[in-house]
Structure 1
Amino acid sequence: MGFTTTQLGIVYEKGNGKNGINEIALALKKSKSQIYRALKDLDKMNIVRIKRRGFELMSNTHTSYLVNNLLNHPNLISLLSGSSIQIIQECLSITSVSKIVDKTKLNNATIYNWIKKFQKVSIIKKINNQYLFNTKLWADLKNFIIEFKKFNDSVDPRVKPNSKIYFKNKDLIVFSTKTLENASFTAFSKYKEFGINILTTKNYYSLPFKKKNVVDIFIDSLYVVEKEKDFRNLLFVALFYLKNKKKLGKINNIILNNIKKILKGEHINDYPSLLEIKERAKVYNIKV
């Protein structure tokens, strides 16, 4: 979810004291209809609330950070538009252009173009052909990027507002609810079909509809435990891996890598121990 310069301009002008639609349209040299269209999108981002007469800025965390950043650095109106926020998010930890391409699916030219712009104002610094966000100079911007990502990760038009989202991109969304949904069961809701019958307090789903194979189900499980490091779920992930080891061995994931270390005898905090895995594996007749 990205911004247009018009949307950011509206937030800036509102934060700067301009209240009327006509006044803001004049300041931005836009038509009233353009302003209203931009406001509808900002409303979906929970940044403004449209009222019968005009609109107001929301008082949530990501909006507060955005307003303060724009008022202190008006040049961010152009620097936070389009796909720029996706790139900044990836640079919160040191990364390379190839990794940004993999994560965002943006092309090299677009990424390099934005990075050059960010480097000019020291938002991003280059370290041995890799890139890192400059927290020392742009701490408030980092706070906005983090909070806006949290918001984006928690909402999606494909699912109901009460859904818990674990993973999403344009091709897939993995989520849970306590109700029945018109979506494919996945993750722990499918474990019983593979011999691990467990009771869950919620239903795990994915969209679009797809016949899930063992790899799909396991990867979706990893998405869940990445967001919610529940001890019980980690234990069942370990059991599912052991039961389907031949088909799942090539998956590269930090949680799975930790489970493999535990199975070799290592102790990792907040994970089930080898003894606990062995004891539960006996219940399901799984060889450790």
Structure 2
Amino acid sequence: MPFSQNDIRTLVLIAGSEKPSNPRILRETLGLQRETVSRLITHLVKMGLVERRGREAILAGTPPAEAFKLLYFSHRATPLHKILSLRRVELLARLDQTPRSLGDLAAETDIPVDTLYGYLKGFLRVGAVSRSRQGKAYCYSFNFKLWPELKDFVTALLEYQVLRLVPREALIIKSYEDSVIFKSIRQQDATITSFSAYEDYGIDLGLWDNYYTLPKRELSLQEVFVHSLDSAWEPSQKLFCALFYLKNRNKLDAIDHPVLSNLKAVLQGERISGYPTLEDIEDRTDLYDIKL
């Protein structure tokens, strides 16, 4: 859920306080009603940034809260509520060292171009973003030299929100910027992926573990394959990846992943420690009507 400006203003006051923050002091400082302040604190608690201590509020001990504290003390003069509110966090998560045009960012975030331009102007004003010209278009990239703490906070916040979705009994395989893959013996209210999704593409592995991703969403064949590459810890699992690759080679050949690079070498006859041999793969191809 995006932050409002008052969310961030409240968080700044709590982070900068040497003792637990009293709601009355917050109301007086922010000029807000009691119900509004209570709602703001509740939202920050749900986001993992604030904890209640009796009637008072303190900064939580979570990774995103610690990252925000570092951000606040590194940029105390900056109005953080103007660079973290609304959908700005979503945009900051997409910005990195690779310059992107306004059109590219709009396509990636689905934020209206006019709104996006306003956000970027604000980022440029405080130096959080750099702008360069490529042809006729301006491109934008994140300024890691001046604002590493901002990027660290956004990353920690999004990772924390995703990890909170994973059931306690599940084993997390990998956390991405805005999603996570995990496995569980039990069925979960999540999207099937990795080896568990191979059955949808003609390769039924009959595994005990179920592989999932959250948040729930529709996955492409390429996403399923990348998830399986990231899940392939054992030679047998890498063999599964090889079979899936061979069955869908024309759609997967462009994927850049170290496990896939090694599997391609294996398919050329090279022997690599921790990977199946070409003979191992050949023994399984007939089972799934796969041709080398």
- Please state which band the TM-score falls in when normalised by the shorter chain: 0.7 to 0.9
Structure-1 residue corresponding to 2:86: 82
Structure 2 Cα separation of the partners of residues 219 and 40 of structure 1: 35
Q: Which residue of 2 aligns with 1:147?
A: 156
Query: Which residue does 1:106 correspond to in 2?
Result: 111
Identity of aligned residues (%): 19
CA contact under 8 A between 1:93 and 1:133: conserved in structure 2?
yes
SS at match of 2:183: strand
Q: Distance in 1 between matches of 2:156 and 2:80?
A: 17
> Is the 8 Å Cα contact of residues 239 and 277 (structure 1) preserved in structure 2?
no
Indicate conservation of the 8 Å contact 1:166/1:223, yes or no.
no
Separation of aligned partners in 2, 1:39 and 1:162: 30
Does 1:28 find its partner at 2:33? no
- How many residues align structurally? 274
SS in 2 for 1:130: strand
* Displacement after TM superposition at 1:209 (Å): 8.8
2:204 and 2:281 mapped to 1: Cα distance? 11
Partner amino acid, structure 2, of 1:110: T
Q: 1:3 and 1:208, CA in 2 relative to 1: closer, same or farther beyond 3 A? A: closer
Asked if 2 retains the 8 angstrom alpha-carbon contact of 1:218 and 1:240, the reply is: no
Matched letter for residue 66 of structure 1: F
1:204 is aligned with what amino acid?
Y
- Report the CA distance between 1:253 and its aligned residue: 3.8
Distance 1:229 1:195, change over 3 A: closer
**CA 1:104 to 1:22, structure 2 compared with 1: closer, same or farther past 3 Å?**
same
Structure 1, unmatched stretches of 5+, are: none
Partners of 1:231 and 1:270 within 8 A in 2 = no
Using structure 2 for the length normalisation, give the TM-score: 0.76
Taking structure 1 as reference, are residues 253 and 104 closer, same or farther at Cα in structure 2, changes over 3 Å only?
A: farther
Q: Secondary structure at the match of 1:150?
A: helix
Gaps of 5+ in 2: none
Spell out, residue by residue over 1:5-56, the C-alpha distance to the aligned partner (whole angstroms, 9 max, x if none).
1111111111222610011111111112111212222112211122432222
1:186–1:205 CA contact under 8 A, matched in 2: yes
Q: Secondary structure at the match of 1:254?
A: coil
Task: Please name the residue that 1:276 is paired with.
Answer: 277
Moved more, 138-147 or 253-262: 253-262
Residues 173-216 of structure 1 show CA distances to partners (whole Å, capped at 9, x for unaligned) of: 8653331224564431243562452535x312468999x9xx84
Given that 1:11 and 1:67 are in contact with CA atoms closer than 8 Å, whether structure 2 keeps it comes out as no
